[in-house]
Chain A
Amino acid sequence: MKNRRLTLRQKRAITGLLFITPWLIGFIVYYLRSFVLTTQFSLSYIKVMDTGGYTATFVGLDNYKYALLEHTTFNQVLTNSIRNVLIDVPFITFFSLFIALLLNAKFKGRGLVRAIFFLPILLGSGAVKESLELATEAIQGGATTMISDIAQTSGLNVDYFLDVLLDIGIPDRMVDYIISIIGRIYEVVRASGIQIIIFIAALQSVSPSLYEVSKIEGATPYETFWKVTFPMVSPLIITNVVYTIVDYFVNSDVVELAYNTAFGSTMEYGLSSAMSMLSTVSICTILAVIVALISRKAFYYN
C-alpha cells in the first residue's frame, strides 16, 4: 500500500495556496483575462449592441495607426503626459526625501505639521480636487497681479532675475526646468504625500548604531547624509519613483481621453483599448528604464 499521507512541506504548500486563492482567482479572471481581451479589442473594430453585447471584427493595427497618426489630440496628450512625468519625478522624489528628513527629526508641533503634510492625500478626489484647483488658481492669480503691481511701482522685474541666472552661466534648459517646477509647486507638493510617508518609514528603519559610529568617527552631518542615510534609503527611492510614475499616469489626461472615447457618444471600444495599450506600454518602458538605471546605484543590505 502506498503511503498517502502528505508531508508537512506539501501540507504547508497547499495551505499557502489556499491563502492566496481569492487573489489568484481575481487575478486570472480580472487581470489576465482582461489584459488579453484589451489586446484583442485594440486589434479589432468593436460594434456595441443595444443589449450590451458586442461583435468584434479583426482590423489589425488600424486602431493604433489612427490613434497615433490621425487622432487630433491623442498624440499631444500622450507626449505631454510623458514629458510632465519626466520633469516632475526627480523633483518629487528629492522634495519628499527632503521633507521626510525634516519631519523625521524631533521638534515641537511635529504631529501638527505631519497632519498638515498628509492632508493632500485626503483631498484627492474629483470634485474636491477641482474646487481646490479653482481656489488655488484664485490665489495664484492674486499673487501674479500683486507681482505685476509691485513691478510697476518699484521697477522690480522678474525677467531681470531670470537674466541674471542665465548670465552666471546656468544653462537655458536648467532655467526652464526651474521655472516650470516653480509654476507647478502646488501640484508637486500635493503629489508627494505618500512618498513622504514611505521615506519617513525608511528613515525610521535605519539602525541608530550606524549614526553612532559615524559620529564617533567624526563625520560631519553632510557626510553622514551621503554615506549613511542616502544609501540606506536608496532602495525606497525605486519604490517611490515607481509609485510616482504610476500614480501620475492614473490621474493623467490620457486615461480621461481613453475613458471618454469608450463611454462618450461614439463608444469606440477598439480605439480606446488601443489608447490604453499605448499608454500602458509607454509607462512600462519608462518604468523599466528608470528602475534599471537606479537599481544599479541602489544599496542593498544582503
Chain B
Amino acid sequence: MKINAGNIIARLKSMNEDTVLLNKRSRVVHKSKALLFSVFKFIILLGISFIILGPVISIISKSFFSSSDVYNPSVFLFPIRPTTENYRLSFMRLDYWKTLTSTLIYVLIITLIQVVIASMAGYGFARFDFPLKKLLFGCVVLTIVLPSHTIMLPVYQHFRNFDILGIIKLITGKKLNLLSTEAPMIIMTLLGVGLRSGLYIYIFRQFFRGLPKEIEEAAFIDGAGMWYTYFRIMLVNAVPAVLTVSVFSLVWQYNDMFYVSLFSMPSNHNISFKLSTIQATIRFLDKINDPVVNQLYVYAGVILVVLPVLIIYLIMQKYFMEGVERSGIVG
C-alpha cells in the first residue's frame, strides 16, 4: 500500500470535522438529558411534597372556617367568613400556656437525661473492653428491636406497686403507687430504657467509634481521668451526635402517647395527651355536639400543638442535618 501524504491529510481533516460534530451532538444530547432529568426530579419532589403538605394545608385552612363555611359547598380552601374563634376556644380548653410549659419542662428534662445516659453507655461500649461486651451490646440492639408492648404489663405492675428492694415498704408500711405522675418515665429514662433509648445508645456508640483515639490518649497522658476525659473532651467533640439525639428525643417524647397513657400521666401536664381529649371536652363544656363543627376546634388545636415542635425543628434543622450526616447512624 502506497502512502500518499495528501490523502492522509485529507482524511485526517475529515475525521477532525467529524469528531467536532460528534462532540457537539453529544453535548446537546447530554444537556437535554440533564434538563429532562431535572424536570422529572422536580415533578416527583413536587408531587410528594404535595402528598405531605396537602393534609396540613387543609387542616390550616379548616382551622379558620366558621360553622357556616363547613356546610357551604362552594367554600374550598379559603373560608368566606374566616374566624379565629376556633383558636380562641381551643386555646382556652387546652389551657395552652400552662400545659405547654409543663410539657416542655418534662420533655426537656427527659431529653437531658437521655443524652447523658445514652452517651455514657455509648462511650462505654465504644471505647472500653470488658467481659461479655458483645453479648451486652447485642442486648442493646434487642431493646431497639423488641416492641415495648411486650414489657408493658410487668412495667405497669412494677410502678403500680413501686418498691426498691423492700425499703419503701419497710419505712411507710405500704408500696408506692407511682402511676399518674411523671416519675415512671423519668426513672426508666435514668436507667437507659426510656423511649427509644436503645437507638440513642447505638447512635452514640457508632459516633464515638468514629472519633480518633489520639484525643483520648493525649488527654490521658496529660493526666486527665476517665470521667474528665468523657465529660470535657469526648462529649464536646460529639456535638453532632448530641444534637441528633436531642432532636429525636424532643420530638418523639413530645409526640409519645404509648407511655403517657400506660402510666396515665396527668393530661394537663402533657399537651399531646390533652389534645386527644379536646373533642370530648368541647362537646361537654361548650355544648357543641355537631361532629363536623367540633372537628374544626380539633384542627385549631392540632396547629397549636404542632407549632412549638415545628419552631424547634426549624431552628435546629440545619445543625440536625449536619449532625445526621456526620454522626454515626451509619455503621
Known: A115-B314, A117-B52, A128-B306. A25 touches B191 (CB 8 A): yes
> Which B37-52 residues sit within 8 Å CB-CB of chain A?
38, 41, 44-45, 48-49, 51-52
Select the stretch in A30-38, A85-93, A173-181, A209-217 that faces chain B.
A30-38
Question: Of the candidates B48, B152, B177, which one forms a contact with A189 in the assembled complex, judged by CB atoms under 8 Å apart?
Answer: B48
6 smallest beta-carbon distances between A and B, as pairs: A16-B128, A26-B191, A19-B124, A23-B192, A125-B255, A34-B151
Select the stretch in A68-76, A157-165, A193-201 that faces chain B.
A193-201
Q: Is B149 an interface residue (CB 8 A)?
A: yes
Q: Is B150 an interface residue (CB 8 A)?
A: yes
CB-CB under 8 A from B276, the residues of chain A are 126-127, 130
- What's the Cα separation between A132 and B305 when bound, in Å? 13
Nearest neighbor of A247 in chain B, beta-carbon distance? B147
Nearest neighbor of B33 in chain A, beta-carbon distance? A221
Q: Interface size (A, Cβ < 8 Å)?
A: 89
Select the stretch in A57-65, A148-156, A223-231, A271-279 that faces chain B.
A271-279
B193 engages A23 (CB within 8 Å):
yes
CB-CB under 8 A from B258, the residues of chain A are 250
A24 engages B324 (CB within 8 Å):
no
CB-CB under 8 A from A135, the residues of chain B are 54-56, 58-59, 62, 299
Q: Is B157 an interface residue (CB 8 A)?
A: yes
B120 engages A52 (CB within 8 Å):
no
- What's the Cα separation between A255 and B147 when bound, in Å? 9
Known: A20-B124, A127-B276, A134-B295. A38 touches B306 (CB 8 A): no
- What's the Cα separation between A105 and B291 when bound, in Å? 46
- Consensus secondary structure, chain B interface: helix
A27 engages B306 (CB within 8 Å):
no
Pick 24 A–B contacts, CB within 8 A, sort by A: A12-B128, A22-B121, A23-B121, A23-B140, A26-B197, A30-B188, A30-B191, A37-B154, A102-B41, A117-B49, A119-B56, A122-B251, A127-B272, A127-B276, A131-B298, A132-B55, A139-B54, A201-B325, A201-B330, A205-B325, A242-B145, A258-B149, A283-B145, A283-B147
Question: Of the candidates A15, A33, A235, which one forms a contact with B331 in the assembled complex, judged by CB atoms under 8 Å apart?
Answer: A235
Q: Is B318 an interface residue (CB 8 A)?
A: yes
- What's the Cα separation between A126 and B139 when bound, in Å? 29
B58 engages A31 (CB within 8 Å):
no
A280 engages B146 (CB within 8 Å):
yes
- What's the Cα separation between A17 and B128 when bound, in Å? 8
> Which A235-262 residues sit within 8 Å CB-CB of chain B?
235-236, 239, 242, 246, 249-250, 255, 258-259, 262
- What's the Cα separation between A262 and B133 when bound, in Å? 36
Q: Per-residue 0/1 for A263-302: is the Cβ within 8 Å of any B Cβ (1 yes, 0 no)?
A: 0000001001100110110011001000000000000000
CB-CB under 8 A from B128, the residues of chain A are 12-13, 15-17, 19
Question: Of the candidates A14, A53, A121, A139, which one forms a contact with B55 in the assembled complex, judged by CB atoms under 8 Å apart?
Answer: A139
> Which A residues fall within an 8 A CB radius of B?
9, 12-20, 22-27, 29-31, 33-35, 37-38, 41, 52-54, 99, 102, 105, 107, 111, 113-128, 130-132, 134-136, 138-139, 185-186, 189-190, 197-198, 200-202, 204-205, 235-236, 239, 242, 246, 249-250, 255, 258-259, 262, 269, 272-273, 276-277, 279-280, 283-284, 287
- What's the Cα separation between A50 and B227 when bound, in Å? 47
Q: For residue B125, give the distance in angstroms from its CB to the closest CB of chain A.
A: 7
- What's the Cα separation between A236 and B257 when bound, in Å? 29
A115 engages B317 (CB within 8 Å):
yes
Question: Of the candidates B49, B145, B190, which one forms a contact with A22 in the assembled complex, judged by CB atoms under 8 Å apart?
Answer: B190
A287 engages B136 (CB within 8 Å):
no
- What's the Cα separation between A230 and B41 when bound, in Å? 19
- What's the Cα separation between A21 and B161 when bound, in Å? 24
B325 engages A17 (CB within 8 Å):
no
Nearest neighbor of A204 in chain B, beta-carbon distance? B325
A20 engages B121 (CB within 8 Å):
yes
> Which B233-259 residues sit within 8 Å CB-CB of chain A?
251, 254-258
Q: Is B209 an interface residue (CB 8 A)?
A: no
> Which B residues fall within an 8 A CB radius of A?
38, 41, 44-45, 48-49, 51-56, 58-59, 62, 117, 120-121, 123-125, 127-131, 133, 136, 139-140, 142-155, 157-158, 160-161, 177, 188, 190-193, 197, 201, 226, 230, 251, 254-258, 262, 272-273, 275-276, 278, 295, 298-299, 301-302, 305-306, 309-310, 313-314, 317-318, 321, 324-325, 327, 329-331
Known: A15-B128, A52-B161, A250-B147. A123 touches B306 (CB 8 A): yes
A246 engages B272 (CB within 8 Å):
no
Question: Of the candidates B59, B127, B154, which one forms a contact with A16 in the assembled complex, judged by CB atoms under 8 Å apart?
Answer: B127
CB-CB under 8 A from A198, the residues of chain B are 329-330
Known: A52-B160, A131-B302. A16 touches B124 (CB 8 A): yes
A113 engages B329 (CB within 8 Å):
no
- What's the Cα separation between A125 and B195 when bound, in Å? 14
- What's the Cα separation between A186 and B55 when bound, in Å? 10
Q: For residue B116, give the distance in angstroms from its CB to the closest CB of chain A.
A: 9
CB-CB under 8 A from A250, the residues of chain B are 147-149, 258
B49 engages A29 (CB within 8 Å):
no
Nearest neighbor of B331 in chain A, beta-carbon distance? A235
Known: A30-B188, A235-B331. A200 touches B324 (CB 8 A): yes
Q: For residue B184, give the distance in angstroms from its CB to the closest CB of chain A.
A: 10
